[in-house]
Chains A and B, each alone.
Chain A
Amino acid sequence: MSSTVQSTGRTWKKPPFIANPVLRWGLLIATVAYVWWAMTSLPFDWDRIQDGVPRAIRIFKGAFPPSFIRGELLFDGFMESIKIAIVSTLLGLALSVPIAFASASNIAPKWLYTIGRGVIIVARSFHPVIVAILFVKAVGFGPLAGILTLTVYSIGFVAKMLAERIEEIDWGQVEAIRAAGGATFVTLLYAVIPQIMPRQIGLSIYQLDSNLRASAIVGIVGAGGIGSTLLNAFGRYDYDFALAITLCIIGVILVSEAISGRIRRNLW
């Protein structure tokens, strides 16, 4: 095939991503201006940053090879993290179920729904580290603050997801039990719980994994577990021990993620 086509002089340009030119250029200029403003207004301490490279070299030299000499400390830290995760998951789940029912718009009356959603929003808005600081102030340093923190953290996630699942249930099953004369409690037991159970079990396992991750960081503000050990190592410039801890955290998280992923795949 060979054919020369008469040029019609017609041109073609890709139609712009945003059709309105004012909006298009406005957004572009706004973005550039914002980035420039943000970068210049942020208080960078350039003198200190320039020290960064030699410091980084010193830190990495200090960190290699990772030191497992204080293995016992490391092991105790992890055990404490795991205990915190287990207790807080169970406590969180126990509290999440009623809160989830209270926050499901198809089950709870309006006033209860408002309260339930409020609790969830507050629990979700604060990063666990902030919650941890408050609990450390209230109940002192140690794993108790960690447990309370992660309980709140669990409520924020599990109650929200479970409430969404409850709102999606097949209402026909509820009507069937009601038609058979079931009381409210019996209706919940026979028509609602069976529908949400698989999700609840999946969420529980996910949350255990999630709490284990989070328990590694709440320790940084004094709420017990491996995070406290890590912060101490950093504070004492024991970078080789800090690296060993970090590597172990990565390892434990990977293993825990794999186990929780496998269990959840089998469930769903």
Chain B
Amino acid sequence: MLRIKELVKRYGDEKAVLKNLNLEVPGESVVSIIGASGAGKSTLLRCINRLVEPSSGSIELNGTELTKLEGKALRLARRRIGMVFQGFNLIDRLTVMENVQSGRLGYLPAWRAVTRKYPQEDIDRAFHLMERVGIAHYADKRADELSGGERQRVGVVRALMQEPEILLADEPTASLDPKTSRQIMELLRALASELHLPVLINIHNVNEAKEYTQRIVGMRFGRIIFDGEPTDLNNDAMDEIYAGVPAEERGGAESNTHLREVAAR
């Protein structure tokens, strides 16, 4: 259970990016967060694992208060939170296996990390997960030799290697072509139910959000203004979330109607 209360994030003296934000994610649910760029989606996700320092408020994961942690305690908390990035954020010059095992760095003794002598059970887990997502045969390839979809699979496996209690995905499909991006969304949904893992996905593409997640949170100007099931997300709600945003940038749902209108003419 992730519980966020009265979360505020302010950069310097500027207007707050997150304004007294409240959100609860109970176990085993896949939640997507939608909103125009600049709504604060990415900041919200990064506040949870403290890549961004929250200004005030509280974030609680399964009973641990995350906002006050420092040093070693923070690292121990971070390893319980998996994260998947828009740009994959792999280490290009290392092999796929090393990238995958880097998900265990929060657990591994330093000498094992340096010598690459990973424990047998980590290697078993890595092969198991890589087989599950279909990249096991790439174990010895360098990460920069893979295609975008394959790289994102490495990113997902790396996050799962942490044995996380929650998975955060920041625009995991925004750098991928439509077909690959659907495969990754399908994968995230399937993994969430197989591993009983709550997943929080920032997503630009509203159609994908509706199709692959059970709950949608809409953000605007640092506040949550919509929270419900995909069927509740009607045109009025969409207009509120994306008011003033050109149709092409509304991430799919609206642009489809737009296209249909064009076709009808």
Contact = CB atoms under 8 A, between A and B. Distances in A.
A15 B98 CA distance: 10
B197 A1 contact: yes
B140 A15 contact: yes
Contact of A8 (B116, B124, B165, B197): B124
Given A1-B195, A1-B196, A15-B95, A6 B124 contact: yes
A12 B123 CA distance: 7
A14 B140 CA distance: 7
Nearest to B126: A12
Interface in B119-154: 120-121, 123-128, 139-140
Contact of B120 (A2, A7, A13): A7
A6 B129 CA distance: 12
B195 A12 contact: no
Given A5-B125, A6-B124, A14 B98 contact: yes
Contact of A2 (B124, B127, B140, B163): B163
Nearest to B129: A5
B61 to A, nearest CB: 13
B164 interface: yes
A5 B120 CA distance: 11
B198 to A, nearest CB: 10
B95 A7 contact: no
Interface string B195-209: 111000000000000
Interface string A207-242: 000000000000000000000000000000000000
Contact of B139 (A5, A9, A12): A12
B221 interface: no
B124 A5 contact: yes
A14 B128 CA distance: 18
Contacts of A12: 97, 118, 123, 126-127, 139
Contacts of A8: 124, 127-128
A107 to B, nearest CB: 41
Contact of A14 (B95, B196, B197): B95
Contacts of B118: 12
Contact of B127 (A1, A3, A10, A13): A10
A10 B126 CA distance: 10
Contacts of B165: 1
Interface in A6-28: 6-15
Residue among A1, A2, A5 with the most chain B CB within 10 A? A1
A11 B95 CA distance: 15
Nearest to A10: B127
Contacts of B127: 8, 10, 12
Contact of B116 (A1, A3, A6, A14): A14
A12 B120 CA distance: 9
Interface of A: 1-3, 5-15
7 contacts: A1-B163, A1-B165, A6-B128, A11-B123, A12-B123, A14-B98, A15-B95
Closest 9 CB pairs of A and B: A14-B116, A1-B195, A5-B128, A15-B140, A5-B125, A5-B124, A7-B124, A1-B197, A12-B123
Given A8-B124, A12-B97, 10 more contacts: A1-B164, A1-B196, A1-B197, A5-B124, A6-B128, A7-B124, A8-B127, A10-B124, A12-B123, A14-B95
